Every structure is written in structure tokens, then in C-alpha cells.
């Protein structure tokens, strides 16, 4: 279904591998950064949407105070407010919907180039195109599959106990990224159900990524870690380039609990 | 705001969960990650039949024994690699056992079974990668490559490890043993000649492509295809190149040789016939489907006893019979459900094919006409 993304990505991975000294981890890292740069407009749009929603938060709180007993009216007023401010509350979902297939495609591309089973390798046979333009790339697949003694095509295993450090790193960087990007720590009343759910998500998402990293090839963990580091770098870059104003400084203060 | 964020997170979580379920095999059932294989000796067919090792009467297709007898109760993993049969009345299979869970060790096991009864003689579980192709027998040893990058030599009577040889990548091809030398290709782009008794390298032949097939030998020359779209002819004594032929696609399956003619097939289904001595191309034939679509081929070519016919199994399950005396004219083709990724085998008037993912897992076809003699499981049990 995603072949039209997977095979081009796999071919780009081969190119990067060739030009980065036949280092698989470097090639995966470079492809991750390139992919993140490619979807940067989407992630920026997602963050812009989130920021606008934050800025409207005081108004939303006022509406809650005013119409808290009438949920239908509250929803109507919220929609009016968002419409006037030009904010689509679901606008942040679309970038996610687009990003996830790209993530899946990237994983499949990595698996094709560093296969753990012969069927994965065979699926890629006949879809390599870069060697037609650059004959020197003929025969690159499968890429070198070991990094620090770990098999990049296999999930972490007790035989390579240190490979379990990768899921831990995936969890840690995912958690840090969630922590940085989520404004929930700076807004809203900590006791609301929505915020509790949001806080649970801050743990659930990194746990889910850590779980995936335990089950899948360690090459995918490299992608997750680099992607998370990119997300954090992007956050700091945007924050420091907003006229020197710290984003968290412009966020509304916590509402005192009643 | 938080509600919106939470919704967003829930969407992401739901999609991640879907991804996980879709790709982790949680949907149930054993999913093949390689191909099954077979060997025929003295009218007995030994088949790595995914969940079992199976011995069958090659003429009738009747099952003689299975190991394990009941895989539901005594799971010994998934059997892929083609078996090898020794004079000492043992047959050697390999399986991949995954116990599940986060911290489980995937086990790869070599089994030595009694050829008559299928009873276990010994097992070897020292490798950590996947056995894809089978092993070879020579001078009291069973030698097999593994996905962990090692070649293992086991005492064929006891299963004791005699030596290992470490390559730089996965070893997914069957070794060839001739006299006191083991020839084996690795995904590290090297073909190795190893001393059979010590496992030490005699010579190494470096190429630009990985090796996935077993070499063929004739007149002291090794013939093998590689993933750099090239077929190589190599001096078996010195490891020096004699000639090479550059095609358009990977050569994965093993070549076959008959009466001074070398036959090889690439992964896009083009069959080549070379003068084995010079490397000159005699003819080539690109296989297509009935709808004139290209086919994919992983398996190697197999010839019949007099070399007049070649058999090629396509990924889509069709078995092709080519007339070597008519520049590869397709005499007949027989489609089947499932994937036909392993080398066919020939015994007398029948040619055998294993399939994965279809209703039949093994079938026997008449060499002359391509008519199906039997299939397993039979259609009514499929």
C-alpha cells in the first residue's frame, strides 16, 4: 500500500549509505533528518495550531466559567471563538495522520536494506533503482548489519544485552520530547480530567515507542532516537528564534485552583 | 486545549497500536519469514514443511513420518532449510523457534533425525541467527551457514561443534563440500573456501555483491551468482576468477551445469545459458506469466537427468519447464497457489516443488507434461 513511498525511501537510504562511508547508522540518521525536514511544514503547522490554541486558553477558560453548566452552549461558543481566531481544533491531527505513514514507510525501507529475513530481502529485489543511475551502487544491499556488536536487523536480544539500551533511549528521548512539546504543564488546572489524560499520554506515548523498539529491529530504534532529538532541536530552534521570547513565558499562567 | 491535545494523542496512540498489530503478527497464525525446502533420496522425499519435518514416499506422496508428530503439543519451531541426508542414515533439518516475550532468545536448531523413523538423534542450538538454506555433508561433518554470520561444522554422529568460521554478514546459502574443502558464500560479498577439517580459510573471493546461492562445480571451476548482477566462474583451487558475466538483476538461486553448459536465472526471471568454459552466452529466455507480465524468481534452476529440461519456480508459484535444446522454449508451465521460492528437485519422471502460503505445500509434477501427480495436503484436505 505504501510502496510508492517505501521504495524511494529505501533507494535514498542506499545513496546515503554509499556517500556516508558505508555506515548504516549514519545513513539511517541522515535519512531520518531528511524525512523530518521534508515534513517540517507539517510539524510546524501542528505546533502553530497548538500555540494558537494556547493563546486562546484564557478565553476558553472564561467561556467555561460562563457556560460550564450548558455543554452544548459551551461547545458552540468555543467553536465561534476558534472560527473568529482562524483556528481549526482538529488541525493538529492531519499532520499526525500524514506523519505516521511516513514513519511506517521509513521503517519498511530500513528493513528492506537491513533485512532480518530472506523474504524481506527478496521483496526489495528488483526495486533498486539507484544502481541504474550509479552503477557503482550495484550490490550494496544488504547493508552492513552490525553496529557496536548489535544486529540492526534484529530486535534486542539477551545475547546482545547491551542492545536493550536502545529501547531505553527511545523511551527517554520520547518522554523528553513529549515533556517539551506538551504545554499541559504550564496551563490549565492540573486536576481536570483532560489534563490527567494528557499527562497519562505523556507516559503512554513514550512507553508505546519503547515497546515497539523492543519488538522490532534495532535499526528502527536508531530512527526513533534521531527523530526525537530532531524534534527537541526543532523546538529549541523555534523557541530561540521567536524574537528571543521564551515560548513558555507567553503561555498563560496556571489558573489558581478554586 | 488539553482536550484537543488529548484527542490528538489518542489519534496517534490508536494509529500506533494499529501499526503494531498489523505488523507484529498478533493477528494469529504462523507467518513464514523464509521458504521451505526439500530433498529427494532413493524415492523418499524429505521436506521442511514449516511446522514439521516430513518424510514422504516420492512416488505416491504418502507421509512416512513427521517430526514433531504433533506440533501443536510439541512445538519445535518453523522448519525452512532444505534437509540433507547422510549415508549414516540420518537426515538433517533446521528450525527457528521463537518463544515470544520481550526477553526471549530466538532459538535456531539443527536436528539430526533417523531417516527411517524420524526419531531425534541429536540437536544443536548454538547459533543465534536464522537457518535459511540447508547444510552439506562431508567427511563426518555437517556444515551449515547461519544468519548470525557464522558457518558451523558439527560432528554428524554426535552434533558436537567442531569449528566455526565467522564471516562479516549473514550466511544464507548452502555450502558446497568437495573433497576437503567447503565453499560457501556470505552476504558480506565474499565467497570462502574453507578447510573442511579445521575451518580455516584457504582463499577468499571478493565481489561487489552478496552471495545467496550454492555454487556449482564442474572441471575444477566454481560457478556462482551474486547480488551485483554477476555470474562468476572461479578456479576452485586458487580462487582466481576465470570469467564473469554481468546481467541486469541479482542472481540469487544456485546455477546448474550440464554437458559444458551453465544455466543461471536472475530475480527477474531471465534464464541464461553460458558456455561454461568461456562464459559466452548461448541463449537467454525471459519468463513471463500467461498475461505476459514479468515474473520474480528467487529459486535456482534445476535440470533433469539428461539435461534436456530446466525447471524454474517463480515467486508466484508457477513451475516452468524449459527445453534446453530449443534455446529455453517453455514446454509447459504449471501455476499453483502460494509462493514458490525454493529450488525444485527432480527424481526420475517427477519434479517436486514446495510452496508457502498456498493450499498445497508440496506437489509432484510429471516432467514430460507438467501434469500434477500428487500434492500435499491433497486438495480435499487443503
Q: Pick from A56, A92, A198: which is nearest to B2 by CB?
A: A198
Q: Name the more confident of B125 and A252.
A: B125
In the 8-state DSSP scheme, what is residue B308? Answer: S
- CB proximity B9 to A under 8 Å: yes
Chain A residues with CB under 8 Å of B108 CB are none
Chain A residues with CB under 8 Å of B132 CB are 118
Q: In this predicted structure, what is the pLDDT of residue B20?
A: 53
Instruction: Average the pLDDT over B61-65 and give the result.
Output: 97
pLDDT at B208 over 70: yes
The C-alpha cell at B192 is 570462502
The confidence band for B210, taking pLDDT boundaries of 50, 70 and 90, is very high
- Tens digits of per-residue pLDDT, B236-271? 999 999 999 999 999 999 999 999 999 999 999 999
Instruction: Average the pLDDT over B215-229 and give the result.
Output: 97
* Contact: B2, A197; criterion CB under 8 Å: yes
In this structure, of A104-108, B19-23, B169-173, the range with the lowest mean pLDDT score is B19-23
Q: In this predicted structure, what is the pLDDT of residue B28?
A: 40
pLDDT at B114 over 50: yes
Task: Provide φ and ψ at A190, rounded to 5°.
Answer: -60, -15
The confidence band for B69, taking pLDDT boundaries of 50, 70 and 90, is very high
Between CA A232 and CA A182 the distance in angstroms is 12
What residues have CB less than 8 Å from B269, skipping those under 6 apart? B286, B287, B288, B294, B295, B296, B297, B312, B314
Q: In this predicted structure, what is the pLDDT of residue B101?
A: 57
In this structure, are residues B359 and B338 in contact, taking their beta carbons and an 8 Å threshold?
A: yes
Residue matched to cell numbers 564471516: B167
Instruction: Average the pLDDT over A4-22 and give the result.
Output: 92
* Contact: B315, A122; criterion CB under 8 Å: yes
Q: In this predicted structure, what is the pLDDT of residue A100?
A: 78
The pTM assigned to this predicted structure is 0.86
Q: In this predicted structure, what is the pLDDT of residue A170?
A: 95
CA end-to-end span of chain B: 56
In this structure, are residues B49 and B65 in contact, taking their beta carbons and an 8 Å threshold?
A: no
Q: What is the rounded radius of gyration, in angstroms, for the C-alpha atoms of chain A? A: 22
**Distance set, CA B201 to CA B139, B170, B205 (Å):** 18, 17, 11
The C-alpha cell at A233 is 532541536
H runs (alpha helix) in chain A: 3-19, 24-38, 40-55, 57-67, 71-85, 93-113, 118-124, 130-133, 165-181, 193-215, 218-240, 247-250
A17-24: long-range pairs with CB below 8 Å, 24+: A17/A113, A17/A140, A17/A143, A18/A134, A18/A136, A18/A137, A18/A140, A22/A143, A22/A144, A23/A144, A24/A113, A24/A114, A24/A143, A24/A144, A24/A145, A24/A147, A24/A152, A24/A219
Q: In this predicted structure, what is the pLDDT of residue B353?
A: 97
Which chain B residue lies closest to A181 (C-alpha atoms)?
B5
pLDDT at A247 over 50: no
Mean of pLDDT over chain B: 91
Instruction: Average the pLDDT over A7-16 and give the result.
Output: 93
- Tens digits of per-residue pLDDT, B146-199? 999 999 999 999 999 999 999 999 999 999 999 999 999 999 999 999 999 999
Instruction: Average the pLDDT over B364-375 and give the result.
Output: 96
- CB proximity B315 to A under 8 Å: yes
Q: Count of A–B CB contacts within 8 Å?
A: 144
Chain A residues with CB under 8 Å of B128 CB are 157, 159
Between CA A182 and CA A192 the distance in angstroms is 16
Q: In this predicted structure, what is the pLDDT of residue B9?
A: 57
Chain A residues with CB under 8 Å of B106 CB are 157
Q: What percent of chain A has pLDDT over 90?
A: 27
pLDDT at A145 over 70: yes
- Tens digits of per-residue pLDDT, A70-96? 888 888 888 888 888 777 766 666 666
In this structure, are residues B362 and B351 in contact, taking their beta carbons and an 8 Å threshold?
A: no
pLDDT at B382 over 60: no
pLDDT at B2 over 60: no
The confidence band for B299, taking pLDDT boundaries of 50, 70 and 90, is very high
Instruction: Average the pLDDT over B300-309 and give the result.
Output: 94
In this structure, are residues A191 and A257 in contact, taking their beta carbons and an 8 Å threshold?
A: yes
Q: Name the more confident of A93 and B108.
A: B108
Q: In this predicted structure, what is the pLDDT of residue A2?
A: 81
Q: How far is B208 from chain A (nearest CA, A)?
A: 6
In this structure, of A44-53, A192-201, B2-11, B44-53, the range with the lowest mean pLDDT score is B2-11
Q: In this predicted structure, what is the pLDDT of residue A236?
A: 84
- Tens digits of per-residue pLDDT, A117-138? 999 999 888 788 777 778 778 8
**Distance set, CA B34 to CA A105, A201, A220, B4, B266 (Å):** 22, 38, 21, 45, 19
- The most confident of the ranges A6-20, B252-266, B367-381 is B252-266
pLDDT at A258 over 50: no
The confidence band for A98, taking pLDDT boundaries of 50, 70 and 90, is confident
Chain A residues with CB under 8 Å of B102 CB are 214-215
Cα–Cα–Cα angle for A61, A66, A68, rounded to 5 degrees: 80
In this structure, are residues B311 and B346 in contact, taking their beta carbons and an 8 Å threshold?
A: yes
* Contact: A122, B249; criterion CB under 8 Å: no
- CB proximity B331 to A under 8 Å: no
The confidence band for B12, taking pLDDT boundaries of 50, 70 and 90, is low
Q: B62-79 as b/e, with b when 16 or more CB fall inside 10 Å? A: ebebbbbeebeeeebbbb
Q: In this predicted structure, what is the pLDDT of residue A79?
A: 84
Instruction: Average the pLDDT over B317-332 and give the result.
Output: 97
pLDDT at A242 over 80: no
- The most confident of the ranges A50-54, B98-102, B245-249 is B245-249
Between CA A34 and CA A240 the distance in angstroms is 22
In this structure, of A219-223, B23-27, B301-305, the range with the lowest mean pLDDT score is B23-27
Amino acid at each position: 500500500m505504501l510502496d510508492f513511498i517505501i521504495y524511494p525511501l529505501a533507494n535514498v537510504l542506499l545513496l546515503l549509505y554509499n556517500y556516508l562511508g558505508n555506515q548504516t547508522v549514519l545513513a539511517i540518521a541522515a535519512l531520518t533528518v531528511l524525512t523530518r525536514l521534508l515534513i517540517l511544514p507539517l510539524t510546524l503547522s501542528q505546533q502553530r495550531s497548538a500555540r494558537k490554541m494556547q493563546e486562546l486558553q484564557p478565553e476558553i477558560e472564561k467561556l467555561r466559567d460562563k457556560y460550564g453548566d450548558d455543554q452544548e452552549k459551551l461547545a458552540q461558543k468555543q467553536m465561534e471563538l476558534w472560527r473568529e481566531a482562524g483556528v481549526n481544533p482538529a488541525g493538529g491531527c492531519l499532520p499526525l495522520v500524514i506523519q505516521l505513514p511516513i514513519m511506517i514507510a521509513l521503517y519498511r525501507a530500513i528493513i528492506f536494506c537491513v533485512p532480518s529475513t530472506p523474504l524481506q530481502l527478496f521483496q526489495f529485489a528488483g526495486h533498486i533503482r539507484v544502481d541504474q543511475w550509479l552503477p557503482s551502487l550495484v550490490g550494496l544491499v544488504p547493508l552492513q548489519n552490525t553496529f557496536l556488536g548489535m544486529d540492526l536487523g534484529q530486535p534486542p536480544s539477551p545475547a546482545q544485552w547491551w542492545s536493550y539500551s536502545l529501547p531505553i533511549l527511545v523511551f527517554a528521548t520520547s518522554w523528553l520530547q513529549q515533556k517539551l512539546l506538551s504545554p499541559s504543564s504550564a496551563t490549565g488546572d492540573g486536576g481536570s480530567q483532560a489534563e490527567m489524560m494528557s499527562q497519562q499520554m505523556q507516559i503512554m506515548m513514550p512507553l508505546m515507542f519503547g515497546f515497539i523498539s523492543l519488538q522490532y529491529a534495532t535499526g528502527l530504534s536508531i530512527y526513533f532516537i534521531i527523530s526525537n532529538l530532531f524534534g527537541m532541536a526543532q523546538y529549541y530552534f523555534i523557541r530561540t528564534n521567536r524574537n528571543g521570547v521564551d515560548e513558555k513565558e507567553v503561555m498563560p499562567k496556571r489558573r489558581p485552583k478554586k | 486545549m488539553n482536550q484537543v491535545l488529548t484527542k490528538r494523542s489518542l489519534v496517534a496512540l490508536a494509529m500506533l497500536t494499529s501499526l503494531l498489530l498489523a505488523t507484529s503478527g498478533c493477528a494469529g497464525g504462523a507467518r513464514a519469514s523464509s521458504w521451505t525446502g526439500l530433498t529427494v533420496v532413493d524415492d523418499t522425499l524429505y521436506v521442511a514443511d514449516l511446522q514439521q519435518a516430513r518424510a514422504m514416499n516420492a512416488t505416491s506422496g504418502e507421509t512416512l513420518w513427521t517430526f514433531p508428530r504433533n506440533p501443536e503439543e510439541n512445538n519445535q519451531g518453523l522448519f525452512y532449510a532444505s534437509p540433507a541426508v547422510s549415508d549414516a542414515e540420518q537426515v538433517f533439518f533446521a528450525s527457528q523457534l521463537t518463544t515470544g516475550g520481550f526477553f526471549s532468545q530466538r532459538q535456531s536448531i539443527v536436528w539430526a533425525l533417523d531417516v527411517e523413523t524420524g526419531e531425534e538423534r541429536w540437536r544443536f542450538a548454538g547459533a543465534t541467527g536464522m537457518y535459511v538454506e540447508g547444510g552439506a555433508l562431508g567427511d563426518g561433518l555437517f556444515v551449515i551457514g547461519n544468519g548470525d554470520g557464522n558457518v558451523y561444522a558439527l560432528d554428524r554422529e554426535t552434533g558436537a561443534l567442531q569449528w566455526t568460521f565467522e564471516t562479516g554478514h549473514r550466511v544464507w546459502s548452502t555450502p558446497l563440500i568437495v573433497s576437503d574443502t567447503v565453499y560457501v558464500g556470505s552476504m558480506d560479498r565474499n565467497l570462502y573456501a574453507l578447510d573442511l577439517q579445521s575451518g580455516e580459510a584457504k582463499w577468499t573471493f571478493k565481489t561487489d555483491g552478496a552471495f545467496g546461492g550454492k555454487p556449482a562445480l564442474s572441471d575444477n571451476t566454481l560457478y556462482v551468482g551474486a547480488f551485483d548482477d554477476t555470474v562468476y566462474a572461479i578456479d576452485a583451487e586458487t580462487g582466481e576468477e576465470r570469467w564473469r558475466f554481468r546481467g541486469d538483476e541479482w542472481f540469487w538461486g544456485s546455477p546448474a551445469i550440464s554437458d559444458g553448459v551453465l544455466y543461471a536465472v536472475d530475480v527477474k526471471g531471465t534464464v541464461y545459458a553460458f558456455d561454461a568454459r568461456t562464459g559466452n552466452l548461448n541463449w537467454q529466455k525471459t519468463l513471463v506469466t500467461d498475461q505476459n507480465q514479468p515474473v520474480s524468481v528467487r529459486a535456482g534452476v534445476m535440470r533433469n537427468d539428461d539435461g534436456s529440461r530446466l525447471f524454474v519456480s517463480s515467486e508466484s508459484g508457477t513451475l516452468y519447464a524449459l527445453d534446453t535444446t530449443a534455446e529455453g522454449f517453455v514446454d509447459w508451465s504449471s501455476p499453483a497457489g502460494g509462493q514458490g521460492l525454493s529450488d525444485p528437485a527432480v527424481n526420475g519422471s517427477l519434479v517436486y516443488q514446495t510452496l508457502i502460503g498456498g493450499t498445497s505445500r508440496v506437489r509432484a509434477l510429471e516432467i514430460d507434461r507438467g501434469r500434477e501427480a500428487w500434492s500435499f495436503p491433497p486438495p480435499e484436505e487443503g
